Structure 1
Amino acid sequence: MSGARKSDVVKLVCVAVAAFAFTFSLVPLYRIACEKVFGIRLDGSAVSESAVVPATPVAERWVTVEFDGSVNSKLPWSFRPNESTKRVRVGEVYETTYYAHNNSAVPVVGSATPSVAPARASGYFQKTECFCFTLQTLQAGETRDMPVRFIIDPALPADVNTVTLSYMFYKNDLATERLSQAPRAGALTTARATR
């Protein structure tokens, strides 16, 4: 093999190794961005209230929380907050609910993606319970109120007086497809057993 070909092979191997290292590092970077910057927990768990609620009382500080909700065009649901705003004291636990209704004639599985604005407030908005931690299944025509429990960390920057919590609901095609096939699989098994 000539020197030029060896050099090309070495370059290609280096590029492949660099690409692998870059791809491998994306997972922890993505986790850091979601959890630390945007306040989205990727492990599907809630923040414990004791981890956020201060042990000693904090100064009297109130913040307005605005609620927003929307659905992706592929999801045949109605989805909105049951209250548009709530005045909350930092360091205390509050709960709100979102209204969801499946407008279709079949069960549908959805997943919600939360976001907090302004972005610099996202690390101070802690959810201790949220429908966004798991997939949500609504039967045909079903209506449900979905709860969110949250705490605003007292360390929220002093110039942030309004925080907006938004959710976008998406259809989970794979889970919806599995759900639609489950009754057929059960009926097929029953039919075989009765033969």
Structure 2
Amino acid sequence: MATASLHQKNRRFAILFAGVALGMLGLGYAAVPLYQMFCSVTGFGGTTQRATQGDADLAAQFAKSGAGHTISVRFDANVERNMPWDFKPVQVKDTVTIGQRDIAVFTARNNSDKPITGTATFNVEPEQTGAYFNKIQCFCFTEQTLQPGQEVRMPVLYYIDPAILNDENAKDVEQITLSYTFHEAEDPAS
């Protein structure tokens, strides 16, 4: 009888252990999407926010109310190693009025002899300002395909949310850096 009881305890332990292991495996697969969702909602890690035209209009109303606060925005552009593109901002720095829409323009050129599709990752520094940097339109929302030798202008329509002025950790920031890195898009056929 003692061996039957021990066998039953071992079986329960094995089932419990297998359940924990499967749960940990599931959390491992879910970690990246959950982290990305958390960052996009909170602005954590310098993740910018995606805004609608209506959001931008509300921010512009605040800006017209006489706030007049400005902030410097610096633009940074990079390409991953071995990607044959030139990528740079047209203007490296701009002073913008908080709450008003502004536009930044980047140029990209494919220096190879074949079409290349790229995708841009981005972040904002300092990190605490990511929640207030809102992009209305951006080349980073979709993949970009450049033909051999093609050069394109890629705009970013954005605004800084006036709520930044109420955040103790962000209200005294004098400059925000918006940085992009282009990566060659993975070939879906591989």
Q: Scaled by the length of structure 2, what TM-score is found?
A: 0.82
1:122-141 equivalences under 5 Å are: 122-141=130-149
Separation in structure 2 between the aligned mates of residue 35 and residue 65 of structure 1, nearest angstrom? 22
Residue correspondences, number: 173
1:39-188 equivalences under 5 Å are: 39-40=47-48, 46-52=50-56, 53-54=58-59, 55-56=61-62, 57-156=65-164, 157-174=170-187
Aligned equivalent of 1:184: none
* Cα drift, residue 131 of structure 1: 0.2
Identical counterparts, % of pairs: 29
Unpaired segments of 5 or more residues in structure 1? 179-195
Superposed CA offset, 1:32-67 (max 9, x none): 1234223346xxxx5113214333425110100000
SS in 2 for 1:79: strand
2:126/2:176 contact within 8 Å kept: yes
For the structure 1 residues 48 and 149, does the alpha-carbon distance in structure 2 shift closer, same or farther, using more than 3 Å as the test?
A: same
> Which of the numbers 28, 32, 38 marks the counterpart of 1:32?
38
Superposed CA offset, 1:100-120 (max 9, x none): 000000000000001100000
* Cα drift, residue 3 of structure 1: 3.8
Of 84-93 and 157-166, more deviation after overlay is shown by 157-166
SS in 1 for 2:131: helix
Amino acid at match of 1:13: A
Superposed CA offset, 1:41-99 (max 9, x none): 6xxxx511321433342511010000000000131100010101001000000011101
1:114/1:165 contact within 8 Å kept: yes
2:48/2:132 contact within 8 Å kept: no
For the structure 1 residues 171 and 21, does the alpha-carbon distance in structure 2 shift closer, same or farther, using more than 3 Å as the test?
A: closer
Of 109-118 and 14-23, more deviation after overlay is shown by 14-23
1:74/1:170 contact within 8 Å kept: no
Separation in structure 2 between the aligned mates of residue 30 and residue 146 of structure 1, nearest angstrom? 24
* Alignment RMSD: 2.2
* Cα drift, residue 8 of structure 1: 3.7
Aligned equivalent of 1:9: 14
